[in-house]
Amino acid sequence: MHIKRNILITAAALAVLVVGLVGVNAQGVLSGEPTVVAVVDLASIYDSLKEKQQIDAELGIVRTRVTQESEDRQKDIAQKQQDLDMLVPGTPPYADAQEVYERTALDYQVWVQYEQNKLGREANIRIKNLQKNLEAAIETVSQAQNVGIVLYKQQSLRLGTNQQGRPQTANINIVAWASNTVDITDLVAQQMNNDFDNK
């Protein structure tokens, strides 16, 4: 637990360090004009995206279909339960009806789990593709506007609800996009190695 916390603290510190160096002329990398920093509000972007609206609409149709079929299956199970209750326990007709009822109920449980997993997979694929398109758009706009670093305004984003009605969220990295000209990874690694060698 302490190791994980230290890693998070270190990552946050490095992120702050990178942001702090924006606009400063570091040797070899941050030379030239001061770096322009921009931010993106993902909540506003997602709310206005036609692609996101299409995804929501298509997944909504699937959810409606699954919900309707689920209700029909539950009615069928209830009917089979009533048919079973009308028979005499211990008789062959009762045994046959009980088997049909139990198989139908079990099939329903398996079907529900399958449909939920299928819908979840489809939603994840759609959201990942949307995220890739978003990152590509951020890079295109950033290069056109001479932006060096783009930061997200949020640390998490709500993506709606899953089949169970539970909220779905995506964790957001602090940096949405950064030009190679502001990447000081190699310099930091070299500095740390030099400090280690000089101990």
pLDDT of residue 28: 41
Residue 8 lies in a domain: no
**Which residues make Cβ contacts (< 8 Å) with residue 155, sequence separation at least 6?**
171, 172, 174
Q: What is the pLDDT of residues 66-116, one digit of tens each?
A: 999 999 999 999 999 999 999 999 999 999 999 999 999 999 999 999 999
User: Whole domain around residue 93: which residue ranges?
Assistant: 41-145
pLDDT at 31: 52
List the one residue out of 57, 82, 66 whose CA is nearest residue 164: 66
Q: Which three-class secondary structure string do you get for 91-109?
A: CHHHHHHHHHHHHHHHHHH
- Of 31-45, 131-145, 164-178, the least confident: 164-178
Instruction: Give the mean model confidence (pLDDT) for residues 147-162.
Output: 69
Is position 165 within any domain? Answer: no
Q: For residue 34, is it within any domain? A: no
Of the candidates 130, 124, 163, 149, the one whose C-alpha atom is nearest the C-alpha of residue 19 is 149
- Render pLDDT for 109-140 as a digit per residue (tens, 0 to 9): 999 999 999 999 999 999 888 888 888 898 89
Q: Look at the chain and report how many structural domains it folds into.
A: 1
Residue 174 lies in a domain: no
% of the chain exceeding 70 in pLDDT: 69
The pLDDT score that the predictor gives to residue 178 is 75
Q: Tell me, yes or no, whether 157 lies in a domain.
A: no
Give residue 170's pLDDT band: very low, low, confident or very high (50, 70, 90): low
Residue bearing the bigger pLDDT, 79 or 159? 79
